[in-house]
Structure 1
Amino acid sequence: MPLDYDLIRNWHFDDLRQRYDERDVILYALGIGLGADPLDPRQLRYVYEDGLRVFPSMAAVLGYPGFWMKDPRTGVTWTHVVHGEQRIHYHARFPSRGEVTGRSRITHVIDKGADKGALVVTERTIHDAAAGTLLATLQQVTFCRADGGFGHSDPPLEPLPKVPGTQADDCCELTTLPQGALLYRLNGDRNPLHADPAVAASAGFSRPILHGLCTYAYATQALVRTLCDGDEERLAYLHGRFSAPVLPGETLRVEFWRSRPDLAQFQVRVKERDVIVLSHGVAGLRPALQP
């Protein structure tokens, strides 16, 4: 049935305070495959407490309000909800331990039609709870496949660009962990689709699938490694559209187009199946600091 536009558009979120420490930072990094080469100093900095850094895509799991669409008051057919796009702007480095405040609000409710569903855009800002510093701004686009047709609608977000039709300028291949979904779910998303073979089979998958945000994190790794010379602070923003699931253990081929010195476009392809799993990727790059 259609969504109640006014109800969803004005949905209230309490501010969410979350503490994290070095253990959480390291567990997140291990769950996205960092540390696979324990002698690589560019990976070790995210998995070893001496000089520990927070890998930027960890912003996606901090200050998260939970699966609020499962609340029966929303009227959302939550079993038909999928993660459509993820957009993150990075403003400042996350400390290796501390407390953050997540502030969420609904910015767009978009009717695609009675038979085409609806899009709901949730914006979350993450602040250092002690200093008040804005660390990151996130936009999550949720596709509510069974809830369109309510009429009143916000204008759409600026669309993400398609990648060029030319051959990619560069690529980076990363192999996901066979146990990656079991590790990544410890960051907070305990959906059994990522752990229980029976649940995955009932959804039509041969095995539990990888979290979309884990795929997003692998893409972030590839960009930091290939385009930022391993310096995560050069990544200003990273946006992408989820187009297909990944099975843990598959190899991701991240293909880049260097549009400008401060901009790259990308897509992520599963090498074994030749399927694009993350499309319309765009990343903003800051210049390297002069020594």
Structure 2
Amino acid sequence: MINEQHLLNYPIPEIRQVLRWQDVALYNLSVGLGQDPMDKAQLPYTYEPQMTALPSMPVVLGYPGFWLKAPDTGVDWVKVVHGEQSLILHRPVPVSGEIIGRSSVTGIVDRGPGKGALIYSDRVVVDAATGEKIATLESTTFARGDGGFGGKSGPVKPPHPEPAGAPEITCDLATRPEQAAYYRLNGDFNPLHIDPDVATKAGFPRPILHGLCTFGVVCHALLRELCAYDVTRFGRMDLRFSSPVFPGETIRTEIWREEGGAAFRARVVERDIVVVSNGRFRFA
């Protein structure tokens, strides 16, 4: 069972990470870039002379690992799913050097017995040499098996409102059947995404794609459609994970332009089900 004060003060380790262009290429490939070798617009994301990091890459930088799996957290880790993710990009992600990730739990909401709990956390990614911020990440984790520990019922982060009408832009990007196996090499080793037995125990028919891999696919769509692949124009994205994606499915990002950015959501084409909702993008 969750001990609220213990979890709020949990000593998530600070992570120092040496970044190489190969790490950047692996991340970009693991979220689906490079599937069309003739698409020259994607070449800077796969080819070392021009190597560029996708704006969503901070989600795997300074990552402290699946620390919620530790027994002393009190969390039923098998039933944990990613609920929401925000990314604020302070500067383009470097392709080499040393970075530091500092993570902390910022809030816990008890939704009641049988209704789970929400765990809010953030991570600041900084350049180790200069101390300059690269990105700020805010996450909501849905601990489906941990409601009823006697904690507070709020405040709950309100979602961005859903847009009305038909989208102005749609972008279909395919995932690969083995994409979760590639993506986990970025450091997210939750067996839910590769072990069929763990997936079954968690209530899924087969391993699911990492939520943050879906995040990267949607980031690619926003970068392509709104920024013409110019990372200096990319400022912030926020979204809610509505349903899991199975590797091999096609993710369709639907976009509504707004002043200063756009609203968006995403669905799986094959099942016509919304997998990302309440999305907001802002230009730098």
For the aligned pair, the TM-score class normalised by the smaller chain equals over 0.9
Shift of 1:151: 3.7
2:114 maps to 1:121: no
Question: Which string of whole-angstrom CA distances, capped at 9 and with x for unpartnered residues, describes residues 118-138 of structure 1?
Answer: 111111000001111100000
Aligned equivalent of 2:228: 229
Amino acid at match of 1:265: A
Q: Share of identical aligned residues, percent?
A: 48
Shift of 1:139: 0.8
Shift of 1:242: 1.0
Aligned equivalent of 1:255: 254
Aligned equivalent of 2:277: 279
144-153 vs 79-88, which deviates more? Answer: 144-153
TM-score between both structures, scaled by the size of structure 1: 0.92
TM-score between both structures, scaled by the size of structure 2: 0.94
2:184 maps to 1:162: no
Distance 2:229 2:14 in 1: 33
1:37 to 1:161, Cα distance in 2 relative to 1, 3 A: same
> Which residues of structure 1 form unaligned runs of 5+?
287-291
1:252 to 1:281, Cα distance in 2 relative to 1, 3 A: same
Shift of 1:206: 4.1
Aligned equivalent of 1:100: 99
Distance 1:76 1:204 in 2: 17
Aligned equivalent of 1:193: 192
Distance 2:17 2:153 in 1: 31
Shift of 1:146: 2.2
**Counterpart secondary structure, 1:45:** helix
Question: Which string of whole-angstrom CA distances, capped at 9 and with x for unpartnered residues, describes residues 163-197 of structure 1?
Answer: 22311121111111122111111111222332234
Aligned equivalent of 2:268: 270
Shift of 1:219: 0.4
Alignment of 1:48-197 (within 5 A): 48-153=47-152, 155-156=154-155, 158-197=157-196
Question: Which string of whole-angstrom CA distances, capped at 9 and with x for unpartnered residues, describes residues 103-156 of structure 1?
Answer: 111111112223322111111000001111100000111111222234443843
Distance 2:71 2:250 in 1: 38
Distance 2:145 2:249 in 1: 31
Shift of 1:74: 1.4
230-239 vs 151-160, which deviates more? Answer: 151-160
Aligned residues: 284
| Contact 1:160/1:282 (8 A) holds in 2 | no
Distance 2:150 2:122 in 1: 22
RMSD: 1.7
**Counterpart secondary structure, 1:56:** coil
Distance 2:108 2:199 in 1: 29
**Counterpart secondary structure, 2:114:** coil
Distance 1:157 1:91 in 2: 26
1:71 to 1:192, Cα distance in 2 relative to 1, 3 A: closer
**Counterpart secondary structure, 1:50:** helix
